[in-house]
Amino acid sequence: MRHFDYARAESPQQAVAAHGSDRDAAFLAGGTTLLDLVKLDVMQPQKVVDINGVDLTTIERLDDGRLRIGAMVTNTALARDERVVEDYAVLSQALLAGASTQLRNKATTGGNIMQRVRCPYFRDGVSACNKREPGSGCAAIGGVNRTVHAVLGTSDACIATHPSDMCVAMAAIGATVEVQGPEGSREIDFGDFHLLPGDTPAREHALEPGELITHVVLEAPIHGSRSAYLKLRDRQSYQFALASSAVIVRMDGDIIREARVAMGGVGTKPWRAPEVEAALKDRTASEALFANAARLAFEKATAYSQNGYKIPLGQQAIVRNLSDLTAA
């Protein structure tokens, strides 16, 4: 069998120390991505640092109203947390729209942020893939790209979507990622955490080697707001989004005072759409307004051989979500 070193950490400090700055080391949380990709021989960590013994499982309300979530809080626990259900419905719904019950019971908050793309050409270990083997090309362009490939934020090097639902909700809510590394702790704005593929799709996030996500801090809920996650896919469950929207609105009568919109299934990262938000702000809710605003999100979209439908579908995900949320 393929041998690797295994260490079990009891604290973030221990975990970081055990990991070091070794690029061939990997943290093991729920394992729903890592074990999968190791079995497929797509990831070959030489060292695995198990962080399931690290106590990062609490959710706490900070004095400034923000919600601080431990990286090892499971997707199930987060989705069912009363404060999340009350104040961040969009997050609870997004989590429950993802994966299956068994996977959500294992998957963690930090791990969900770190999950890797579902592009079959990345996962097959054979095809050209700049993520897996930089410089080899992108087989998805011109190949089978109907479901898990993006129309926003793509490059000639990579078109895979970021698969997470949770992250789309977090992108809409606004959040800070707290990390600990060999050089100490730092914070990364959620919007800066995931990187566009550009010419370097193998580089997927802002973490330096050896840095560990310890918490995600959600921005304080917008007083008087409503939120929802709408996920569109072929089957009703257990499929990654073809297109999804996370929407938060604060209404004043039928006027939208504030809107936050993010999208999944269409972008190479969890896709916040500030141009849509700006177009909605202080405007009277109407289907025509929603349609015009949603169109703005896709002005720079690129259709590939099989996924052009995501451009209208993504707009539908925004329009319907807004329509339901703003209905009296």
Partner 1 sequence: MSDKQHSIIGAGVPRIDGPDKLAGRANYAADNLPADMAYGYGVFSTIAKGKVARIKVDEAKRMPGVIDIFHHGHFPSLYRTPSSFAQGNKVEETRLPFEDERVYYEGQFVALVVADSFENARAAARHVEVEYAAESAVANLAQGLDDNGTQAGSGNHSRGDAPGAFEDAAASIDVTYHTPVETHNPMEMHASVAYWDAQGNLTIYDASQGVVVERNALSKIFAIAPERITVHAPYIGSGFGSKLWTWPHAVATAAVAREVERPVQLVVPRQQMFTTTGHRPETRQRMRLATDANGRLVSLRHESINTTSFTDQYVETCGSVTKSLYSCPNLTVSHATTQVNRGTPTSMRAPGAAPGLFALESAIDEMALAAGVDPVQFRLDNYAERDESQDLDFSSNHIVEATKQAAERFGWHDRNPQIGSMREGREIVGYGMAACNWEALKRPCDARVSLRADGTAFASCATQDIGTGTYTIVAQAVSDVTGIPIDRITVKLGDSSYPDGPISGGSWATATTLPAIAGAARNALDEMKRYATGDNGVFAGASSDELDVVDGGLRNAGGKQVSFAEILDAARYGSADGEAHTEAADSQYSYRSFGAHFVEVRWDPGISHLRVSRVVSAIDVGRVINETTARNQVEGAVVMGIGMGLFEATEYDERNGRPVNNDYAEYVVPVHADQPEIDVILLDYPDLAFNEYGARGIGEIGITGLSAAIGNAVHHATGKRIRELPITLDKLMDDVPQAQSA
In the complex, the residues that contact partner 1 under the rule CB under 8 A are 1-2, 41, 118, 120-121, 123-124, 126-127, 139, 142-144, 146-148, 230, 232, 234-240, 242, 301-305, 308-309, 311-313, 316-317, 319-320, 323
Residue number with CB closer to partner 1 (6 or 238): 238
CA–CA separation, 294 and 243 (whole Å): 13
Minimal distance in Å, beta carbon 104 to partner 1?
15
CA–CA separation, 300 and 148 (whole Å): 19
Interhelix angle 287-297/310-326, rounded to 10 degrees, is 140
Minimal distance in Å, beta carbon 45 to partner 1?
14
Say which residues have a Cβ less than 8 Å from residue 4's Cβ, sequence separation at least 6.
45, 46, 47, 48
Residue number with CB closer to partner 1 (271 or 298): 298
Residue number with CB closer to partner 1 (77 or 311): 311
For residue 238, the one-letter residue type is Y
DSSP-derived secondary structure letter, 205? B
Minimal distance in Å, beta carbon 4 to partner 1?
11
Strands in 59-61's sheet, in edge-to-edge order, are: 59-61, 67-70, 212-218, 175-181, 184-189
Minimal distance in Å, beta carbon 161 to partner 1?
13
CA–CA separation, 316 and 35 (whole Å): 35
Residue number with CB closer to partner 1 (192 or 287): 287
Minimal distance in Å, beta carbon 33 to partner 1?
12
Residue number with CB closer to partner 1 (91 or 311): 311
